[in-house]
Each structure stands twice: as structure tokens, then as C-alpha cells.
Structure 1
Amino acid sequence: MKLARTIRFDESDENVFSRPAEPGEWAIPGGFEFSNWGEADLVGKARQAFANGWLGLGSFGRSTFVAVAKIEQNELDSLKNKLSEHFVRVYGAPSVEVAREVAAGEIAFMTELAEDHAPNTLLTVSRSLTEAGVSEAFRAISPAEADIDIVAVHGTLD
């Protein structure tokens, strides 16, 4: 089974997200956070989180990139519990038991998204507001396609 882990190539996530995810956290798209948002909510760092942030399941911060990785069933179960508790604490779900079904669905969506990709494939998310709500699009960059310019910070030694 596969999921994805947050990855950080440079310090940009620390600058563009109000709460950056830590490198190596398991992640899901986390678009539910924006379900009641409108154009007025899309300002500053919140706009960046909406536009292309993955949700880390350790810090509940955001990351620009995730990389596909293998995950064990016991880790998935732990993530479902953690996300269920987050739904109760942050979104007011009536109980962990009720929230668990939604959490399981969010994680299942991510495992389906990751399953057809090789480990270390980079994934990006792009969101927009539509008449019907939040629209998400995903892009995969295989390790063989990754150009050094995607991940390198260029400079001089002077």
C-alpha cells in the first residue's frame, strides 16, 4: 500500500504557509479545510495553502510537494485515528467514531491517488474555486522526469 510523505527542497514552505508541514510527514490533499471558503478568504498565506498545499498529518501544516512512499497498515490505522481526532478538535465532529468514517475516506482517496505511482514520484496539487465548490487537480512527476532545476537552489560561491 502507498501514501505520500511531505518533502521540502528548500525553505520556501516556511515562507509561504502560515503553518508549514515538517518534512517526512504522511500527507493527504486536505481540501476539506477549504470547503466553506470564498474569494474573500483567499489572501496571503491562506491563498497559498489553498492553491497548492498538501496537508501533513503530523503537524496539520501544509507542504508544496509530497513523494509517494510505501506505508504499513498499522501506520494507516494510526493516521485514521489522528485525523479523526483532528476533525473533532478543529471542525467540531460529534465524536471520534463518527469522524473516523470521513477520515478513512480522506486517507483512502490518497492511497488510491498514490497507488499507481512508483515510490519517490513527486505529486503536486492545484486548487481553484468553481461554482460547484473547490476543484482539485493533481500532477505526478516521476523520478526520471525530475530535472535538477525543479529541486536545486542555484547560487554562487562568491
Structure 2
Amino acid sequence: MTPTFGKLPRTLRLDPSDTFVFARAAEPGEWAVTGSFLFFDADLSALAGKDRAAFRSGFVGVDSLGFSTLVVVSEASEEEHAAAVEALARHIHERFGAPDREAARAAAREEIEVAASLCNLPVGSVVAMHRSERDGAIAEEFRTLHQRPPGADPLHGRAFQFVETDEDEVEEQADLVGLLRDAPAGAGRA
């Protein structure tokens, strides 16, 4: 077993929603950073649709540069930490024009350190982010999602709740197959 070096966030996909919400979804289990650097030169007021969703709530996978709504605090070995820095440095150098590999590596180390600072939580903690623009700067807020103890809230502990209704009410129906058929190509794949 590889010794633990520290903790880093990993992308977490509980359902396929990230593949619909973001133009490019991160692969489950990638090491992640907040990714705010991707929006430094963007006109934030002009962001719309999937780009706006990525800005507002997307962590970034260091391998794919895809987005993930959630991350999970995970143990990382020294080798995994170094590999995450190198993967992000490669993108910063090749895709974002860092002057050289060492400058890209320094920027990647800084991003990874920020991500590691979010992991002052127990391993397995799930973290969500809300990013916004305030006074011309990007602001990030984080929240930890906790599992409710069994029986703590019987109404919210289930995915579905059956409620007795009057027969006069209009029945709502959703055509999930039709929604998937009309989705853009590739959107239904996880």
C-alpha cells in the first residue's frame, strides 16, 4: 500500500447530471482544483448556458479540464500529488500559454495547494462550490454536504415520497425517453 502524503479533492459523479449540465464533464475520480483560473479572462456577464453553469459550480478535473459539481476529500500519495501537479502544469503550459514548463508547474502547484486547503475535512467528505463575481473579482464559497443519520429526517431520507391526492388534480407526466431522444448527441452518455 502506498503511504498517504496528504488529501486532495477528487471529482465525484453521483448521477449523469454533470454530462448534461457542463459542455465537458470531468471523469469520475480525477484529482480536482477549483478551476477559477479558467475564467480570469472571461467576460463573466456574457457567460450563458453550460459555460455559466461551469463558472457557477464547476470544479475542474486536472486530467480532462472537464467540470464536476461535487468533489470528495480523498487521500493522495506523494506520487499522486506530483502527477496531479504535472497534469495541470501540462495544460497550463500547452493550452494556456505559460512561458515555460517551470512557470506552468509553479502555477499548477499553487492551484493544487488551494485545492488541498479545502480538504481539512474527514476523508469521504463531499464538497460543493458556488462561484460568483463580486466587485470585479471571482469569489468562491464552499459547503460540505453531510449524510443525514438514519431516521433523522424521514421526509428527506428517500428519493421519492408518495402523497395522497384528489382525483380531480391533473396528473403530471414526464417522457424521460423522449427527453433523452431529443438531447444533443453524446449528452446521454455517462
TM-score, length of structure 2 as denominator length: 0.74
**Bigger Rg over Cα:** 2
Find the residue that maps to 2:106 and give its secondary structure.
Answer: helix
- The structural deviation recorded for 1:143 is 4.2
RMSD of the alignment, in Å? 2.5
Which of these residues, 99, 109, 131, is aligned with residue 104 of structure 2? 99
Residue 117 of structure 1 pairs with residue 121 of structure 2: yes
Structure 1: tracts of 5 or more residues without a match = none
Please give the alpha-carbon distance, in whole angstroms, between the structure 2 residues aligned to 1:77 and 1:62: 21
Given that 1:6 and 1:63 are in contact with CA atoms closer than 8 Å, whether structure 2 keeps it comes out as yes
In the other structure, the counterpart of 2:79 is: 74
Structure 1 distance, partners of 2:50, 2:159, is 22
Aligned to 1:10: 15
Give the gaps of 5 or more residues in structure 2: 1-5, 163-190
- Map Cα deviations across residues 24-80 of structure 1 (whole Å, 9 max, x no partner): 111111111011222443101000000000001121100000110000011111111
Instruction: Quote the residue 2:41 is aligned against.
Output: 36
The runs of at least 4 aligned residues of structure 1 exceeding 6 Å deviation read 145-152
Output one character per residue of 1:117-157: Cα deviation in whole Å (capped at 9) or x when no partner: 0011000110111223111111112345798998976599x
- How many aligned positions are there? 155
Which residue identity lines up with residue 133 of structure 2 in the other structure? L
Distance 1:148 1:2 in 2: 33
* Alpha-carbon distance in 2 for matches of 1:149, 1:14: 29
Q: Does structure 1 residue 133 correspond to structure 2 residue 133?
A: no
Q: Determine the C-alpha separation between the residues in 2 that align with 1:43 and 1:151.
A: 34
- Cα distance change, pair 140–24 in 1 and its aligned pair in 2 (3 A): same
